[in-house]
Chain A
Amino acid sequence: MTATTTRKLDPLPRGSEWSIESIDRYHTEIARVAGHYRLDTYPVQIEIITAEQMMDAYASVGMPVNYHHWSFGKHFLATEKGYRRGQMGLAYEIVINSNPCIAYLMEENTLTMQGLVIAHAAYGHNSFFKGNYLFRTWTNADAIIDYLIFARNYIGECEERHGEEEVETLLDACHALMNLGVDRYKRPPKLSLAKEKLRQQDRENYLQSQVNELWRTLPAHDIHARAESPGRFPPEPEENLLYFVEKNAPLLEPWQREIVRIVRKIAQYFFPQRQTQVMNEGWATFWHYTLLNHLYDEGLLADSFMLEFLQSHTNVVYQPPYNATWYNGINPYALGFAMWQDIRRICEHPDDEDRRWFPEIAGSDWLETFDFAMRNFKDESFIAQYLSPKVMRNFRMFAVLDDDRQNKLKVSAIHDDEGFRHVRDVLSDHYNLGAREPNVQVWNVDLRGDRSLTLRHQQHSRRPLGDSTSEVMKHLARLWGFTVRLETVGAEGQIELHTEIRSDKRRIGDAG
């Protein structure tokens, strides 16, 4: 055995007051144990901040820098009010998917909480960011901070040059479309600050020339074969609305296109987080639990530490029943933690049911299984793959079917042998962004007519669009500059017009 395991370890500092040295010692020990479990992480950067700064970070979607917008101010005011009145504690951790991975520790936390946050954020989330395929393909941890700085400066310049109001209107419109500003299936190119800057000028010129294609009303169509077969533009429906607007909106100035692009890029950056909530939070919770228990078993942590830690931990993973007043859906921390714990159990102590359900992982090496699961899944597929009957039983899950054509709700399945698969499917589908968010795509642009833009909403389970849809369409019309309309495609393929916003922003004289 090596010296490290035989040497008697000094217990870690106890009490609730922290100091930089004690945080450093906790970090050293946690890092050592994380290494023992082969967690692969970005380097860690721990930043100690005040509650005020935490609220600042909150307000700008958790990022250390961001451009200015009133909606962040609104967010800030809401957080501030809740915090000042003591209605709401601040989340005790914010962690940024960057390289090095930045974890914020709040000044007001006790030493126990600091230890918990280091284990949770700096090792749990960090290793997930580094390993999971979605983060690996969709985000670039090396460049995000640089990109945000670039974005803020660029938008700041635009405000000086074109006026705050103008930029704000544009950002409002982009924010309204933010959810539809991501590539769900295509892999985006990597962000790099240097490249961004170099190519920015080229892009402006190039984009303008692209746009002219839309404009062409001169006899050019004689040459183009398009004249005979009008076809649709774009030929394939486009899912990324902001991308389409950036590339094709006829009346946008180059700087406006750049801002659309910035919002789109940032939306894309946050896209994986929305798809891996259960996995990511569960993973981080599992690891803080496992790492701290390991340290306790080694005799490094005091009982008082463990009691405080466990109290906080159990609050986080509490799942209220459906009829509790504070029931707010399935708690992703609780579900994620339970699933990861359960996978470990299946690997280490499988029973007959597990062997039937999970023949491929029952009895396998749990660390390898974990690594594979963490790397290659998102919430939807993770649940479909790994949610075990035991977890469903423990949560006493049941599925309810709500069809607005029926008078009553129907319990479609419960946690029994006949129901496991159905419950699992329903829950998995709940985390499928494709089903959770309306499927709206760019269908056509009337190139040869009024240049109107048509979107199509493929209805899913007869679910209608929400109330603010027409507001969103107004924003889109502002970006597009011409008439926009939204059509809904029903289950039988029937097409209805949902909203139409008529506009034509051409200046007089441009219209030729």
Chain B
Amino acid sequence: MVRIIDRRFDSKNKSTVNRQRFMRRFKQQIRKAVSGAIEGRSIRDLENGEEVAIPARDLSEPSLHHGRGGIWEQVFSGNDQFSAGDLINRPLGGGAGGSGQGKASNEGEHEDDFVFQLSREEFLDLFFEDLELPRLVRTQLAKVTEYKTQRAGFTADGVPANINIIRSMRSALGRRLALGSPYAGKLRELQQQLDELLARCSGEEACGDSEEARALREEIARLREKIEQIPFIERFDLRYNNRIRVPCPTTRAVMFCLMDVSGSMSEERKSTAKRFFMLLYLFLTRSYEHIEVVFIRHHTVAKEVDEDEFFHSRESGGTVVSSALLLMRDILRQRYANGQWNIYGAQASDGDNWDNDSPLCSQLLTRDILPSCQYFAYIEITAGEPQNLWREYARIADEQPHFAMQRIESPADIYPVFRELFKKTIL
């Protein structure tokens, strides 16, 4: 007899373990592929995982088999032109020509890349492995005004909607047992006496009605009544679910992207900056539920713009970096001053600032911006000598632990520089 079993609701993902093992084993290769894959993504296009390709030869499973060479004789189908004894030219590179595909397919060397899909989580895990956000934990809980409620055991008072029936009935039962126990002991004793008495004079009718028996019965009835008078449930027994409000550390962050769009920033440099900002954004999404991004671009004057304009519109002019910092300070004060925000700043420039402006920048940073920032990173995108802004900032970096600066010379440096900036440090 046939058995038909519907297994569709059984556990799926039996291969999850195998998949994880695969990922673990080829972590190096996958990580390399991941860092290559960051190019060509939009800054908010993060909802998908990433397709990753690693060279097939890295993960081949060796086996003993025949290689090319020697004598092979094989049968093919679909003869349309040959008769016995015909000679055929050896096909080049595994059968490019039309006639005579000489090589058997089992010899074909496939060296295609092995391509597979990483989930978003896996992708980001690998990408940001070993990195951490400096000063991640906010300590000023006092200022935080956001609360969430959570369970905290049981209380003796509360609103009826919160009555916990099991707890209440349990304590009622306990109380009834406790209050009734002296009577219950007595009751058992008397009942025993009565039973013995009745047993002793079994058969004799009068005995069951004797004075002694009657007294015992009365006493028993009285005790029963007393036990029954103990209330079934009292206000005293009620228990209520307790919920308390606990302040919760904010998980909001704002990220300021400051970019120099003066004439000296070429399209190429801008795209380098973009990738850097994107990485930072990705990284912040790992730690914060909610992130706002403020784009500020500047030449001689700064302006807050949207993402598209930030990266794509062309403008040029001189460079006054302090204008952007001033705008950042103002926005900070207007919108993000209530202490609920984790503030991150990232500034990208080619460092070619107007000479007299650099000290002002440094002053703005140290006095107004850095104290309220979690972290501020400056990257200078230039291939040549450090510019004046760099020299100015270098002094800040010595004093302020949460100010960091790095130089990027080519797009290839982005990822290493990023890792350098957020390298896990043991305090």
A329 touching B25 in the complex, CB below 8 Å, given contacts A76-B19, A404-B71, A472-B62: no
B24 CB to closest chain A CB (Å) equals 8
Determine whether the beta carbon of A396 is less than 8 Å from that of B22. no
The number of chain B residues with a CB under 8 A from chain A is 67
Interface residues of B in 34-78 (CB under 8 A from A): 59-78
The 5 tightest CB contacts between A and B, nearest first, are A321-B78, A73-B22, A73-B18, A463-B70, A468-B62
A464 CB within 8 Å of chain B? yes
Q: Which residue of B lies closest to A468 (CB)?
A: B62
Report the Cα distance A56→B20, complex, angstroms.
14
From B1, B15, B68, B100, A400 is in contact (CB under 8 Å) with: B100
Residues of B within 8 A of A100 (CB): 3
Instruction: Name the one of A46, A401, A467, A475 contacting B71, with C-beta atoms under 8 angstroms.
Output: A401
Considering the complex, give the chain B residue whose CB is closest to the CB of A393.
B79
Of residues 341 through 370 on chain A, the ones whose CB sits less than 8 Å from some CB of chain B are none
User: Is A372 positioned at the interface, with any CB of B under 8 Å from its CB?
Assistant: no
Q: Which of A319, A328, A462 contacts B69 (CB 8 A)?
A: A462
CA distance A500 to B383 in the complex (A): 50
Residue B208, interface by CB 8 Å: no
Bits for A68-93, please: 1 = Cβ < 8 Å to B, else 0: 11111110111011001000000000
Could you say which of A72, A398, A404 has the most chain B C-beta atoms within 10 Å of its C-beta?
A398
B18 with A398: CB separation less than 8 A:
no
Minimum CB–CB distance for A253 against chain B, Å: 22
Q: Select which of A319, A395, A416, A472 is within 8 A of B63 by beta carbon.
A: A472
A50 to B8 alpha-carbon distance, docked (Å): 6
Smallest CB separation, A472 vs chain B (Å): 5
Check if B356 is an interface residue, CB within 8 A of chain A: no
Minimal Cβ-Cβ distance residue in A for B52: A77
Write the chain B residue with the least CB distance to A418: B84
A47 interfacial contact with B, CB 8 Å: yes
A400 touches B18 (CB 8 A): no
Q: Does B153 contact A (CB under 8 A)?
A: no
- Does A31 interact with chain B (Cβ within 8 Å)? yes
Known A-B contacts A56-B15, A179-B63; A49 and B8 likewise in contact (beta carbons under 8 Å): yes
Is B412 part of the binding interface, using a Cβ–Cβ cutoff of 8 Å?
no
Given A77-B19, A77-B22, A438-B65, do A53 and B6 touch, yes or no (CB 8 Å)?
Answer: no
Could you tell me the distance between the alpha carbons of A92 and B21 in the complex, rounded to whole angstroms? 28
Within the complex, which residue of B15, B22, B75 is in contact with A60, where a contact is CB–CB below 8 Å?
B15
**Structural contact, B77 and A321, CB atoms closer than 8 A:** yes
Q: Which residues of B contact A322 (CB under 8 A)?
A: 76-79, 100-101
Instruction: Report which residue of B64, B85, B89 has the largest number of chain A beta carbons within 10 angstroms of its beta carbon.
Output: B64
Smallest CB–CB gap between A335 and chain B, Å?
Answer: 9
Contact B70 A414 (CB under 8 A): no
Q: A70-B18, A330-B76 are in contact. List 18 more A-B contacts (CB 8 A).
A: A59-B18, A60-B14, A60-B18, A70-B26, A74-B59, A76-B15, A81-B116, A107-B8, A177-B64, A322-B76, A329-B106, A402-B90, A402-B103, A409-B87, A409-B89, A415-B79, A465-B67, A469-B64
Chain B residues with CB under 8 Å of A396's CB are 77-80
Give A320 to B24 CA distance when docked, in angstroms.
41
A-B contacts, 18 listed (Cβ < 8 Å): A48-B4, A59-B15, A70-B21, A72-B15, A76-B22, A168-B25, A179-B63, A327-B105, A329-B104, A396-B78, A397-B75, A407-B90, A418-B84, A430-B75, A465-B67, A468-B60, A468-B65, A469-B64
Question: With an 8 A cutoff between CB atoms, is A262 at the interface?
Answer: no
In the complex, what distance in Å separates the CA atom of A427 from the CA atom of B23? 41
Q: Which of A409, A427, A466 has the most CB of B within 10 A?
A: A409
| In the complex, residue of chain A having the shortest beta-carbon distance to the beta carbon of B12 | A52
Q: Is A4 interfacial (CB-CB < 8 Å)?
A: no
CA distance A295 to B344 in the complex (A): 74
* B102 CB–A CB distance under 8 Å: yes
Chain B residues in 8 Å Cβ range of A404: 68-71
B232 interface hit (Cβ, 8 Å): no
For the complex, give the distance between the alpha carbons of A52 and B9 in Å: 11
0 or 1 for each of A313-345: is its CB under 8 Å from B? (1 = yes): 000000111111001111000000000000000
Chain A contacts of B1 at CB under 8 A? 43
Contact A74 B73 (CB under 8 A): no
The yes or no answer to B13 lying at the interface (CB within 8 A) is: yes
Interface check A178, CB cutoff 8 A: yes
Contact check, B2 vs A46: say whether CB atoms are below 8 A apart.
yes
B64 contacts A179, CB within 8 Å? yes
Q: Nearest A residue to B20 by beta-carbon distance?
A: A73
Q: Mark A383-410, 1 if CB is under 8 A from B, else 0.
A: 0000000000001111111111001111
Within 8 Å of chain A (Cβ to Cβ): is B145?
no
Interface residues of B (CB under 8 A from A): 1-8, 10, 12-15, 17-26, 59-80, 82-90, 98-106, 114-117
User: A175 near B: Cβ within 8 Å?
Assistant: yes
Residue of B nearest to A77 (CB): B116
Which A residues are in CB contact (< 8 Å) with B74? 399-400, 402, 426, 430
Provide the residues of chain A in CB contact with B69, threshold 8 Å.
404, 462-464
Contacts of B68 in A (CB 8 A): 404, 464
Rounded to whole angstroms, the CA-CA distance of A77 and B79 in the bound complex is 38
* CA distance in complex: A401, B67 (Å): 16
Pair B78/A73 contact, Cβ less than 8 Å: no
Q: CB < 8 Å: which of B5, B19, B59, B61 contacts A45?
A: B5
- Contact (A44, B84) CB under 8 Å given A69-B21, A73-B22: no
Q: A46-B2, A78-B116, A399-B74 are in contact. Are A321 and B102 (CB under 8 A)?
A: no
Q: Could you tell me the distance between the alpha carbons of A46 and B251 in the complex, rounded to whole angstroms?
A: 52
**Interface pick from A20-28, A130-138, A297-305:** A20-28
Q: Is the CB of B86 within 8 A of A411?
A: yes
Distance in angstroms from A189 CB to nearest chain B CB is 26
| A407 and chain B: residue at smallest CB distance | B90
Query: Which A residues lie within 8 Å of B101 (CB)?
Result: 322-323, 327
A402 to B6, CA, bound (A): 52
Residues of A within 8 A of B80 (CB): 321, 323, 396
Q: Note all chain A residues with C-beta closer than 8 A to B71.
A: 401-404, 461-463
Q: Which residues of B contact A397 (CB under 8 A)?
A: 75-77, 79
* Complex: chain B residue closest to A172, CB-CB: B61
Residues 425-437 of chain A, each 1 if its beta carbon lies under 8 Å from chain B, else 0: 0110110000011
Nearest neighbor of B107 in chain A, beta-carbon distance = A466
Instruction: Tell me the complex Cα distance, A137–B99, Å.
Output: 44
Q: Do the beta carbons of A437 and B78 come within 8 Å of each other?
A: no
User: In the complex the two chains form, is B79's CB within 8 Å of A323's CB?
Assistant: no
- Cβ of A501 within 8 Å of any chain B Cβ, yes or no, is no
Taking the closest CB of chain B, its distance from the CB of A192, in whole angstroms, is 23
Q: Tell me the minimal C-beta distance from B22 to chain A in angstroms.
A: 3
Asked if B75 and A81 sit within 8 Å, CB to CB, the answer is no
A166, CB-defined interface residue at 8 Å:
no
Measured in the bound complex, the distance between the Cα atoms of B63 and A170 in whole Å is 15
| In the complex with contacts A404-B71, A418-B84, A48-B66 CB distance below 8 A | no
| A413 and chain B: residue at smallest CB distance | B84
Residues of B within 8 A of A418 (CB): 84
Given A59-B15, A410-B85, A410-B86, A73-B5 contact (CB < 8 Å): no
Residues of B within 8 A of A461 (CB): 70-72
A49: B residues at CB distance < 8 A: 7-8, 10
Instruction: Determine the distance from Cα of A91 to Cα of B138 in the docked complex, in whole angstroms.
Output: 55
Q: Who on chain B is nearest to A56 by CB? A: B14
